[in-house]
Structure 1
């Protein structure tokens, strides 16, 4: 009797995912259906200045796809433009400022209960 092994990969077309409102605009989130995932992937359209927030558990990697603006990290602002990458460790208060499109990789996978506002 043949045994079917689980796939060791997943393919998702992010552009086909429904946009979800977030504190900074809208996001399309892939690989968020299992809280035990190693990471998730989000494409975020930042249309309003994000609220300053932090995560107690998540590390985030931001990769700027489009637009120019600033990342505010622990109270200091840094200019960002396409091609820039930012690693944000747990506890770092952060927000994006300006109209940007960002690829965001939360590690471990995004957990909405780990989004903290002052």
Structure 2
């Protein structure tokens, strides 16, 4: 390794040590917000952890609307609207899953950013 490579390697090692110290300090000073941030990162990466139970809670399942559920009541009154079709498709793993998962990812990302700003006030 030439001299420039050695200098770059030492700089990278020092930067890494500094970053780890900064992360440890942040976690020890802000355990609550750190937990929230980790949960938001998890939900942004795996939005189905929220989307699937949420859709099931309103009565949308992999086999269609659950009898007697809120979704079945909505469909009985309003018919099959575009939003209903999209959410049912998401519950069944169809084209709507990308839309719903994208919405969950967006909401969790915004929540994480807003929480970060609120804790600095």
Q: Which has the higher strand share?
A: 1
Q: Looking at secondary structure, tell me which structure has more helix per residue.
A: 2
Bigger CA radius of gyration: 2
What TM-score do the two structures reach when normalised by structure 2?
0.26
User: More relative contact order in 1 or in 2 (CA 8 Å, sep 6+)?
Assistant: 1
Q: TM-score, normalised by structure 1?
A: 0.27
